[in-house]
Amino acid sequence: METGWRERLLFAPAGAILAGLFAVPLVALFVVSFWSVRSFALRPDFTFASYARVWTDYAGVFGFTLGLALTTAVICAVLGFIFAYGARFHAGRYADGLVLAVIVTLFGGYLVKVYAWKSILGADGIFNSALIGLGVIDQPLPWLIYTPGAVVLTLVHFQLPFSFLPIYASLRNVKTETIEAARDLGASAPQIVARIVLPQCRAGLVAAFAFAFLISAGDYVTPQFLGGPSTTMLGQFIAIEFSTRFNWPGGAAMSFALLAACLAIVGAVWLLVSKRRRT
Amino acid sequence: MLETKTGTGLGAPAVDRRKFLQGVSLATLAGAGLLPARRTLAATKASWVGWQGYDDPLKAGTFLADNDIELVTSYINSNEEIITKLQAGGRGQIDLVTIYYGHVPLLVAADLAEPIDESRVPGIGDIFPEFLNVDVLRHDGKLYAVPFTWGTLSMIYDPAAIAAPTSWKDCLKDEVKGKVAMVDDMTGLLATWAPIAVGTQTPTRLTMDQLKASIDYLINIKKNHARTFSPTYGEATDLFARGEVVTSAIGWDAMVGFAGAKGKKLAYVIPEEGAMVFMDTMVIPKDAPNLDVAYKLIGQATSAEGQKVIADNLTQAVITKAALPVIDAKNKEIYQYDNLAKLFERARFYPFWPIEPEGDFVVFDQVLEEYQRFLKA
């Protein structure tokens, strides 16, 4: 059906919001990434110095950030799938309740969860207090907190609902009759998951991965509060460039470099999944 | 005939959309009528930016109510945030900032500060001359910042866990390994450890080699001794309160007060190598929207009442002789107001980093850049 000008006009408000609040600021910041700064004042030059600095000075932090985000995203996608599969096919009438429980956890807020994990994992937290109380240990375990593991744990806790929801939505389209038919034909449970369920929820899995990966890659609060002395992510340096150094070109260059890397990784995952579907 | 769920048969439902909206509107109006009447004259909103706790003097007593001021506060994690806030559109929006004295020349150079009319600052004559006469507060003969408070970046420790340290190097001992608090304070860290690392007497005047060596020293502390790297002194205080750390590689007197509020007793000491004295000032940003209110805020902050709040709440030093009769003896004992020269033998006032080239010494931009290497480590 052809879309007339009236139908196109209906998209105008959404398009205006997208353009005004997303595209225009993004383009403006991209332009600034080629400027320079001196004594807290921007200079509208044209230089690649800020991008070169990302590669020469922050390659290690860049790689660490992507690695930690990848770890978080994979864990979220796996755990999200397990929980969504259980809710869709095994929870019966409790499925809606499980979905509601996941949604309710979103109300907690980001900082609340960060501080909650600080309390749980800290020297006087629940874990250490319980283990000391049971006589398992004499001193608090120092490695529970201020480590990359603590950052991953907190990010997974925060991202999991965002991963669960798209996977669950995809699984809703998987017909139970198909699964029953496969079972009748002798397929085992792992075969049903691998050959019936997973292919039909690929889009949900990729969305789950992308949500968790992109949000984690840009995070800078969790590593500050839970990461320890050597767990620094690129987001922290981006924040410093903007807030402390007024180095907007430097911060913008870091941001766009990270954005490009993230899009490349998500694109690669999508292509991988698509290729498997065609073969 | 089909029965609808309302049992009225085919036809309009008992409550249609129009009636529902009418009912909600009436309920809203009725509810609004029950709300307390708003003041017919709105209070003046004064925008203030600075360190958390520095707004306490302004909230003391009935000052804000008496002057019909609504204080809107914004806390910072670093002094540089104030400059970036003003540069990024804050000019013309902010009435008063509290900033480290060393940054005042940066504000003046960037045309972000209003000159202070000293005749409008009550009690300015009572401010200790050691602080009021610091030359960087003035430019072309005009005062651009009013001293507000000062203190020392001393060594904080948990007296219940360890004996009082005598040297900064005590935090590098094996018995406290992994239990050392360290805070993201570039000037504070370098002012504390550069004299130890490279032997300089003026840690804000370093050559590039000295700066690199100092940063290497700090990296070692961060990687091998610190429990974590706290973004703020408040977070570091939390570490003490939770038993994660027992000593510090850098501290702020106010942490004793912060910890006290959490029920944790801490103590501080100026080690034998000395400690940095800092002074924070009040600056009226250029084009401040409420100039009269800004001067009232300055007057309250430097009054005896306001300064007593700083001394009691933050365990920091007062800036004016007018406050001496009202602060407690413990504060006077720590800060030795009657003999500041003696205190300054171990707690030292350092000039700010050079902003323009000064011989072989690194400039502020270079220090910021090299500090990134420390942060990445």
For an interface test with A, give the residue of B82, B84, B104 to mutate (most A CBs within 10 A). Answer: B84
Mean pLDDT, residues B32-46 taken together: 62
CA separation for the pair A159, A105 (Å, rounded) = 10
Query: What's the pLDDT tens digit per position in B175-188?
Result: 999 999 999 999 99
Does the pLDDT value for residue B39 go beyond 50? no
Q: Do B243 and A123 touch (CB under 8 A)?
A: yes
Residue with tokens 């490279």: B198
* Class (C level, CATH) for A58-278: mainly alpha
A41/B226 CB distance under 8 A: no
**B182–A contact, CB cutoff 8 A:** yes
Would you state the pLDDT for residue B355?
84
Contact (CB<8Å) A124/B242: yes
**pLDDT tens digit sequence for A152-166:** 999 999 999 999 999
For residue A248, which of A45, A5, A18 has the smallest C-alpha distance?
A45
Residue A2 in this model has a pLDDT that exceeds 60: no
Instruction: Chain A: give the shortest CA distance to residue B124, in Å.
Output: 31
What's residue B41's pLDDT?
A: 54
Q: Is the pLDDT of residue B115 over 80?
A: yes
Query: Which of A120, A236, A243, A248 is the best mutation test for B, with the most CBs of B within 10 A?
Result: A243
Chain A residue with minimum CA distance to B80: A244
- Give Cα separations from B189 to A250, B50, B54, B77, B163 (angstroms): 24, 20, 22, 15, 23
Nearest to B110 among A41, A142, A146 (CB): A41
Cβ–Cβ below 8 Å for B178 and A142? yes
Q: Shortest CB distance from B375 goes to which of A140, A232, A246?
A: A232
- Interface check B235 vs A, CB under 8 A: yes
Look-up of token digits 């860049």: A62
Apex B81 CA angle, B77 and B86, nearest 5: 145
Whether the per-residue pLDDT at B11 is higher than 60: the answer is no
B371 in contact with A, Cβ within 8 Å: no
A225 touches chain B (CB under 8 A): yes
Going by pLDDT thresholds of 50, 70 and 90, the confidence category of residue B8 is: very low
Rounded Cα distance between B214 and B229, Å, is 17
For residue A270, the tally of other CB atoms under 10 A from its CB is 16
Distance in Å, alpha carbon of B127 to nearest chain A alpha carbon? 30
Residue A1 makes CB contacts below 8 A (sequence gap 6+) with: none
Contact by Cβ (8 Å): B112, B136: no
| Paired sense of beta strands B138-139 and B275-283, if any | unpaired
Per-residue pLDDT, B283: 97
pLDDT in tens, B51-110: 888 999 999 999 999 999 999 999 988 888 898 889 888 889 999 999 999 999 989 988
How far A233 CA sits from the closest chain B CA (Å)? 9
Tell me which residue in A57, A224, A237 faces B231 most closely, judged by beta carbons: A224
Decide if A40 and B106 are in contact by the 8 Å CB cutoff.
yes
| Alpha-carbon span B128 to B322, nearest angstrom | 10
> Chain A within 8 Å of B77 (Cβ-Cβ)?
yes
Nearest CA in chain A to B182: A229
Inspect the interface and report whether the beta carbons of B80 and A230 lie closer than 8 Å. Answer: no
Residue to test with chain A: of B228, B237, B239, most A Cβ within 10 A: B228
Q: Strand pairing of A41-43 and A36-38?
A: antiparallel
Contact list, A229 vs chain B (CB under 8 Å): 182, 222-223, 226-229
Give A-chain residues touching B248 at CB under 8 angstroms: none
Tell me which residue of A242, A196, A213, A214 sits closest to A42, measured CA to CA: A242
Per-residue pLDDT for A277 more than 60?
Answer: no
Q: Which residues of A touch B84 (CB under 8 A)?
A: 40, 242-246
**Whole-model pTM over 0.90:** no
- Long-range CB pairs of A241-247, under 8 A, 24+ apart, other chains included: A242/B84, A243/B77, A243/B78, A243/B80, A243/B81, A243/B84, A244/B78, A244/B80, A244/B81, A244/B84, A244/B368, A245/A37, A245/B80, A245/B84, A245/B368, A246/A37, A246/A40, A246/A41, A246/B80, A246/B83, A246/B84, A246/B87, A246/B88, A247/A37
* Partner B contacted by A56 (CB < 8 A): no
**pLDDT tens digit sequence for B236-250:** 999 999 999 999 999
Average pLDDT, whole number, for chain B? Answer: 89
* B357 at interface of A, judged by CB pairs closer than 8 A: no
Greater confidence (B172 vs B35) lies with: B172
- A243 at interface of B, judged by CB pairs closer than 8 A: yes
What sign results for the dihedral spanned by CA atoms A146, A149, A155, A158?
A: negative
HEC-encoded secondary structure of chain B: CCCCCCCCCCCCCCCCHHHHHHHHHHHHHHHHHHCCCCCCCCCEEEEEEECCCCCHHHHCCCHHHHCCEEEEEEECCCHHHHHHHHHHHHCCCCCEEEEEHHHHHHHHHCCCECCCCHHHCCCHHHECHHHHCCHHHEECCEECCEEEEEEEECEEECCCCCCCCCCHHHHHCHHHCCCEEEECCHHHHHHHHHHHHHCCCCCCCCCHHHHHHHHHHHHHHHHHCEEEEECCHHHHHHHHHCCCCCEECCCCCHHHHHHHHCCCCCEEECCCCCEEEEEEEEECECCCCCHHHHHHHHHHHCCHHHHHHHHHHHCCECCEHHHCCCCCHHHHHHHCHHHHHHHCCCEEECCCCCCCCECCECCHHHHHHHHHHHHHC
Q: Do A39 and B242 touch (CB under 8 A)?
A: no
Given an 8 Å threshold on Cβ–Cβ distance, is A243 in contact with B178?
no
> Does pLDDT of B352 surpass 90?
no
From the CA of A93, how many Å to the nearest CA of chain B? Answer: 25
Closest residue in A to B368 (Cα) is A245
Within an 8 Å CB–CB cutoff, is residue B72 touching chain A? Answer: no
Mean per-residue pLDDT, A69-88: 96
Q: How many CB atoms are located within 10 Å of the residue B111 CB?
A: 10
B235/A146 CB distance under 8 A: no
Percent of chain B at pLDDT exceeding 90: 67
User: Whole-angstrom Cα distance, residue A165 to residue A160?
Assistant: 9
- B9 pLDDT above the threshold of 60: no
Chain B positions touching A124 (Cβ under 8 A) are 242-243
Within 8 A of B263 by CB-CB distance, chain A residues are: none
Residue B215 has pLDDT above 50, yes or no: yes
Report the chain B residue with the minimal C-alpha distance to residue A64: B376
How far apart are alpha carbons B77 and B51 in whole angstroms? 7
Greatest mean pLDDT among A134-148, B63-77, B206-220 lies in B206-220
B106 touches chain A (CB under 8 A): yes
pLDDT per residue over A179-224, tens digit each? Answer: 999 999 999 989 999 999 999 999 999 999 999 999 999 999 999 9
pLDDT digits 0-9 by tens, B284-341: 999 999 999 999 999 999 999 999 999 998 888 999 999 999 999 888 887 889 888 8
Distance from CA of A271 to the nearest CA of B (A): 34
Contacts of A239 in chain B (CB under 8 A): none
The structural domains of chain B, ordered by start, are 44-149+280-329 (3.40.190.10), 155-269+354-376 (3.40.190.10)
Tokens of B32: 């609004």
Q: Provide the pLDDT confidence category of residue A49 given band limits of 50, 70 and 90.
A: very high
Domain ranges across chain A:
58-278
